[in-house]
Structure 1
Amino acid sequence: MAEPKEKQQVEYTEDSIRSLDWREHIRLRPGMYIGKLGDGSAPDDGIYVLLKEVMDNCIDEHTMGYGKHIDLEIEGKTVTIRDYGRGIPLGKVVDVVSKINTGAKYDSKAFQKSVGLNGVGTKAVNALSQYFKVQSVRDGKMKVAEFEKGVLIKEHKETATSESNGTMVSFIADDSIFRNFHFIHEYLDNQLWNYCYLNAGLVINFNNKKYVSKNGLLDLLLRKTNEDELRYPIIHLKGEDIEVALAHNNDYGEDLFSFVNGQYTTQGGTHQQAFREAFVKTVRDFFKKDYEAADIRQSIVAAVSVRVQEPVFESQTKTKLGSQYVYEGGPSMKNFVNDFLAKELDNFLHRNSQVAEALKKRIEQSEKERKELSGIRKLANERAKKANLHNKKLRDCRFHYNDEPGGKDKQAVLMKQKETTLFITEGDSASGSITKARQVETQGVFSLRGKPLNCFGLTKKVVYENEEFNLLQHALNIEDGLEGLRYNRVVMATDADVDGMHIRLLMMTFFLQFFPELVKRGHLYILETPLFRVRNKQQTIYCYDEVEKQAAIKKLGNKPEITRFKGLGEISPNEFERFIGADMRLQPVILEQGDHIQQLLEYYMGKNTMDRQEFIINNLKVELDAVEEGAVA
């Protein structure tokens, strides 16, 4: 019997210990500072975090009473942000953006209840930018410094200037870290509007577009909802360090927007949970009836903003609040929010009996719908539990978005959670290729049997009656809202043909009809896969459209072999691996602000109308014209 091989011993000496400077550490472990990297296709991708880190410092200046407007310009990949606050003290311009743990915001007297923590934020932007420039103007003097990947390349001498006080930062994200990145302006639009809603009167100019809000969170809800669908006028309440706006509509689920010190906490936290509990308690006390919490919150659309001293977030990107108290020695977050609603919302409902009656009717309608569903829901959930034991439709992954991160390397687990993806595929051949090529730790696959049901105009009863829909909602764990969502990205992976696009449309209808918050929160995507493979003996190029194909033919020359992929099943697992890996191309499904979901679904998925026929004919003509022009060319 052969002796077992001994494990190779690795020496652990003084030479094994390595000290990284601030710049090297940020570039080696960017996820610790800005969350995931990404290419800009998701709203929480790193390039938006870089922009936000700089903007947060401008917002903090405004909050402290300095500077009423901010200029933002994005030209190509260059971002330039200029505020009109006090400006960084000229002797510390280089230090503030290049020395870790250097900033003004450790002194609570200078920056009360700020969100930008200047100790890390701008340093991370500097280290992760291939070019970074900072300029400060104070009282007629200006100081400029320029960096490359965090390394100072030029420190300009102080000069006299007639410019207004303030700070300007210009940067180009390092494309060796943020590969193939691009900015999606709809994401920026949301980000900038949120700044304005939380800072009424602030003016942001972005590429010559003006953003300003007079009524804070009231304006936010007016923009996020359709007034015709609201069951009663928006309730808008303001107090010291807290602001709330709320209403009910006809959508399923809860649509909550929560903010801390001007920071949009996309994953909620203690303040959002406090609001949910306080709202239920206040409504029960007002009507003197023990309604189910789910019935009270069903179809609610609300925004809550709080100001907290020394906020504690659960990650560097500040997407979830962990603070239990409003300030040291002060009230708990739970009691603070509850006391505010118990007084202000209760007073409002007593003074506005028509609103109170409309709210009561909405709750009782939800109660009736829940009871009607209870029987079929119970049977469907029992079937789903049995199916989950041997669910042939789902090939699950190891990590999930809703897992509690544990172990020694909590940051690494959080990064994997953000990468969790569920591919929704059509047919066995496509799901087979993806299943073999996927990353087992973070990518799951759910296989559709064929074209799903068009569920427009149907009630949620169909989600339980239709086995496929029921299994999908259980795979995602979104039956009771997004809090338990198991995958950060839900990706529709269908063939790039008419049938594939129809399936996408049917799936989008399902999510918009019953789980609109999944789309609104930026979790739904379309997988882009190549249409063509162009190759010769030396090189293979995959092309996603006709323009890329023509460029590849020109590059390879001498009549290369061209393959047109008709379906995902024709792409081998070895090829598929590169299309769902680091260079995966995803097209986010974005609801533009002001879009009316029910009107959209009625137009595209309802009964065929003359308007829709005319739209199809006109757009088909455009497509045919484009094809003919290409053929002539």
Structure 2
Amino acid sequence: MAEVNYDDDSIRSLDWKEHIRLRPGMYIGKLGDGSAYDDGVYVLLKEIVDNSIDEFVMGSGRSIEINMSDHKVSVRDYGRGIPLGKVIDCVSKINTGGKYDSKAFQKSVGLNGVGTKAVNALSNIFIVQSYRDGRTKIAEFAKGELVRDEAEKETSQRNGTAINFTPDDTIFRHYRFIPEFVDSMIWNYVFLNSGLTINFNGKKYFSERGLYDLLTKNTNAENLRYPIIHLKGDDIEIAMTHGQQYGEEYYSFVNGQNTTQGGTHQAAFREAVVKTIREFYDKDYDAADIRASIVAAIAIKVQEPVFESQTKTKLGSQSIGPEGPSVRAFIGDFVKRELDNYLHKNPSVADALKARILQSERERKDIAGIKKLANERAKKASLHNRKLRDCKLHFDDNHERKQDTTLFITEGDSASGSITKSRDVMTQAVFSLKGKPLNCYGLTKKVVYENEEFNLLQHALNIEDGLDALRYNNIVIATDADVDGMHIRLLLMTFFLQFFPDLVKAGHVFILQTPLFRVRNKKETIYCYSDEERRNAIAKLGVKPEITRFKGLGEISPEEFGLFIGKDIRLDPVILKDANIKALLEYFMGKNTPVRQQHIVNNLRVEKDDETVNPTIAEPEPLAQSA
């Protein structure tokens, strides 16, 4: 190997925007194309909105306006407005901002002064305008470079700040904003800030009861075992209940930030609930039986929080402030006092909670035998598991690429073979189905252990005891775009929604888009994902291009498949729009075959020569929407 010179000329100093653009992952996590709720484009939006929320928390501005198209965003708040002389510095100089002054911003989400600068550096266009005391200042940037600096002038607008930005499409390739993800983000903002109004694309968001409203929106009242317990104190708010679903479901927040990966506060809450309930009933119940089917939300405020990354999805703080108690003690004392008092004052809720625990205990013991045998089989199979072609990195590893870890679930050996040969062996794994999986709707969790394929899939994902040790960030259903492929998608989504709904709600499940057509001539090849793209490709390439219709994934060569699962991968997220999972599954996957058959007859569409004969008939509501 040739020797590389390492001298004075090897050392470079990057300015603020160059470093952000060179290493964007350090500032906003994964990049993505907007198909996942934690993709970078949503982090950009959140960084801007967080500043507006901090203004509200400090008592300035009770409303925020957000407008969004597929590629552009504008945010206008009515807070104090950035001091006009510092508008440019606040959005373009690292280590410049108001949040270093603890008196100006107490218990703020963003404390490092980087967020807005990252948005600026990673945007094609970034325009900031501050309104303050009858005067205004506007500045415009392109990829962090100042391109317009207008002098201050008078204005009749109310105080506040307006930000408009368009993410850089050379960094966020093929990106688009999906409104459902933004809708969920905004609801969380208003749940955590009672009295705040956010207007998003003309829709008003408002909450009076905070986390109580959050659980009400995200659960179905018919499935709850007892009314929602809602407890509030200084710097802490909790809402909890038990439902009918499998697993545990938590919504956790720190200073208004949705900590989707939990952290010290969520772990402390789970521990405190178990301890308090054991002491209340004076029974040493198994922790898994107490927490089975729990649905809970916890929000705390921490002075100078420590997060495990710039994206702030996991709390690392051990105390609630420099001189305050530990997070564990703070939450433990609150839950012990308030939950214990509540159960004493509401004996009917205490009885219902006890009944739910005893039911979980019976269910756990009922499947203990088959679970043990199934786990032993899975352990042996894992050594020579022909269904799983694993990758080297996993989501529970402490590695910078863990966000890319993906499991493709394929139908048949031909499709899995093509993906296996073209995948990235570091981050992409393949699980091959032997055919159509079992329709598990209405069955108990025992079937997960009795059905070898489901059990091996469960162990491949490592989700038997929750999502804490999930091995892949993205679970991608890769089936043919035909009737059989669609059926397999539904059967797999039924499995996940029936037994692991938190996997879907947390945004880990996707549908792989693969091209329907290949249009090419001697000079250029275009892959098309729809009829519209096919027509555009034909128009672009001219007279009589070669057109290939892909009927199945197995027909696509490994070389071509590599183009569709690499940096340009197209994924449709599975987004659960309706909290009533039971009703959705019962209609689409239950035993009401005549009802579904009649629905198909009544809504039959016939297409001919790209013209729909009956285009006015409404489509049925999907089981889970692929955005």
> What TM-score, normalized to structure 1?
0.96
Q: Which of 65, 68, 89 is the matching residue for 2:62?
A: 68
1:525 pairs with 2:519: no
In structure 2, distance between residues paired with 1:620 and 1:631: 8
Q: Return the offset for 1:627.
A: 4.6
- Once the two structures are superposed, residues 448-472 of structure 1 have per-residue CA deviations (whole angstroms, 9 ceiling, x without a partner) of 0100000000000000000000000
| Residue identity matched to 2:447 | V
1:127 pairs with 2:121: yes
Is the Cα contact below 8 Å between 1:232 and 1:247 reproduced in 2?
yes
In structure 2, distance between residues paired with 1:358 and 1:597: 22
- Once the two structures are superposed, residues 312-370 of structure 1 have per-residue CA deviations (whole angstroms, 9 ceiling, x without a partner) of 00000000000000111211111100100110000000000000000000000000000
Q: Return the offset for 1:554.
A: 1.4
Q: Which of 308, 311, 323 is the matching residue for 1:317?
A: 311
- Once the two structures are superposed, residues 380-432 of structure 1 have per-residue CA deviations (whole angstroms, 9 ceiling, x without a partner) of 000000000011110111110011x2xxxxxxx22x10000000001100000
In structure 2, distance between residues paired with 1:618 and 1:11: 75
In structure 1, distance between residues paired with 2:609 and 2:262: 46
1:91 pairs with 2:74: no
1:479 pairs with 2:464: yes
The match for 2:186 is 192
The match for 2:607 is 624
Q: Return the offset for 1:77.
A: 1.6
Q: Which of 196, 208, 213 is the matching residue for 1:219?
A: 213
1:398 pairs with 2:381: no
Is the Cα contact below 8 Å between 1:104 and 1:118 reproduced in 2?
no
Q: Which of 488, 499, 523 is the matching residue for 1:538?
A: 523
1:510 pairs with 2:495: yes
Is the Cα contact below 8 Å between 2:217 and 2:579 reproduced in 1?
no
| Residue identity matched to 2:366 | E
Secondary structure of the residue aligned to 1:325 is coil
| Residue identity matched to 1:144 | I
The percent of aligned pairs where both chains have the same amino acid is: 68
In structure 2, distance between residues paired with 1:257 and 1:322: 17
The match for 2:621 is none
| Residue identity matched to 1:401 | F
1:177 pairs with 2:171: yes
- Once the two structures are superposed, residues 126-153 of structure 1 have per-residue CA deviations (whole angstroms, 9 ceiling, x without a partner) of 0000000001111111011110000011
In structure 2, distance between residues paired with 1:533 and 1:626: 20
Is the Cα contact below 8 Å between 1:61 and 1:67 reproduced in 2?
yes
Is the Cα contact below 8 Å between 2:480 and 2:552 reproduced in 1?
yes
- Pick which of 611-620 and 462-471 moved more: 611-620
Q: Which of 534, 545, 550 is the matching residue for 1:549?
A: 534
1:235 pairs with 2:229: yes
In structure 1, distance between residues paired with 2:253 and 2:146: 35
Is the Cα contact below 8 Å between 2:410 and 2:431 reproduced in 1?
yes
Count of residues paired in the alignment: 615
In structure 1, distance between residues paired with 2:603 and 2:322: 61
The match for 1:465 is 450
| Residue identity matched to 2:414 | S
- Once the two structures are superposed, residues 572-591 of structure 1 have per-residue CA deviations (whole angstroms, 9 ceiling, x without a partner) of 00000010011101011000
- Once the two structures are superposed, residues 555-605 of structure 1 have per-residue CA deviations (whole angstroms, 9 ceiling, x without a partner) of 11221111111110000000000100111010110001x431010000000
In structure 2, distance between residues paired with 1:570 and 1:618: 35
The match for 1:164 is 158
| Residue identity matched to 2:597 | Q
| Residue identity matched to 2:209 | N
In structure 2, distance between residues paired with 1:627 and 1:373: 53
Secondary structure of the residue aligned to 1:301 is strand
Q: Which of 342, 345, 360 is the matching residue for 2:339?
A: 345
The match for 2:596 is 612
Q: Return the offset for 1:284.
A: 0.3
Is the Cα contact below 8 Å between 2:70 and 2:178 reproduced in 1?
no
Aligned 1:46-445 pairs, distance under 5 A: 46-117=40-111, 119-403=113-397, 405=398, 413-414=399-400, 416-445=401-430
| Residue identity matched to 1:617 | V
In structure 1, distance between residues paired with 2:456 and 2:343: 41
- Once the two structures are superposed, residues 53-111 of structure 1 have per-residue CA deviations (whole angstroms, 9 ceiling, x without a partner) of 00000000000110000000113422110010000011100000000011111111111
- Pick which of 417-426 and 539-548 moved more: 539-548
| Residue identity matched to 2:302 | V
| Residue identity matched to 1:159 | K
In structure 1, distance between residues paired with 2:307 and 2:614: 57
Secondary structure of the residue aligned to 1:258 is strand
Q: Return the offset for 1:233.
A: 0.4
Q: Return the offset for 1:547.
A: 1.1
Unaligned runs of 5+ in 2: 616-627
Secondary structure of the residue aligned to 1:577 is helix
| Residue identity matched to 2:569 | M
Root-mean-square deviation (CA), in Å?
Answer: 1.3
The match for 1:14 is 8
The match for 1:603 is 587
- Once the two structures are superposed, residues 27-65 of structure 1 have per-residue CA deviations (whole angstroms, 9 ceiling, x without a partner) of 000000000111100000010000000000000000011
In structure 2, distance between residues paired with 1:320 and 1:150: 28
- Once the two structures are superposed, residues 534-570 of structure 1 have per-residue CA deviations (whole angstroms, 9 ceiling, x without a partner) of 1111111111111111111111122111111111000
- Once the two structures are superposed, residues 106-128 of structure 1 have per-residue CA deviations (whole angstroms, 9 ceiling, x without a partner) of 11111100002361000000000
In structure 1, distance between residues paired with 2:165 and 2:325: 41
1:561 pairs with 2:543: no
Q: Return the offset for 1:614.
A: 3.1
| Residue identity matched to 1:526 | I
In structure 2, distance between residues paired with 1:348 and 1:625: 64
Is the Cα contact below 8 Å between 1:103 and 1:117 reproduced in 2?
no
- Segments of 4+ in structure 1 off by > 3 A? 623-632
| Residue identity matched to 2:437 | P
In structure 2, distance between residues paired with 1:235 and 1:631: 50
Secondary structure of the residue aligned to 1:503 is helix
| Residue identity matched to 1:138 | R
Q: Return the offset for 1:610.
A: 4.4
In structure 1, distance between residues paired with 2:139 and 2:7: 40
| Residue identity matched to 2:487 | H
The match for 1:28 is 22
Is the Cα contact below 8 Å between 1:96 and 1:118 reproduced in 2?
no
Unaligned runs of 5+ in 1: 1-6, 406-412
In structure 2, distance between residues paired with 1:126 and 1:628: 45
In structure 2, distance between residues paired with 1:570 and 1:195: 46
- Pick which of 473-482 and 115-124 moved more: 115-124
Q: Return the offset for 1:186.
A: 0.5
In structure 2, distance between residues paired with 1:542 and 1:630: 28
- Once the two structures are superposed, residues 198-246 of structure 1 have per-residue CA deviations (whole angstroms, 9 ceiling, x without a partner) of 0001000011100000000000000000001100000000000000000
| Residue identity matched to 2:582 | Q
Is the Cα contact below 8 Å between 1:43 and 1:522 reproduced in 2?
yes
| Residue identity matched to 1:604 | F
Secondary structure of the residue aligned to 2:316 is coil
In structure 1, distance between residues paired with 2:70 and 2:318: 42
Q: Return the offset for 1:193.
A: 0.2
Secondary structure of the residue aligned to 1:26 is helix
In structure 2, distance between residues paired with 1:11 and 1:554: 52
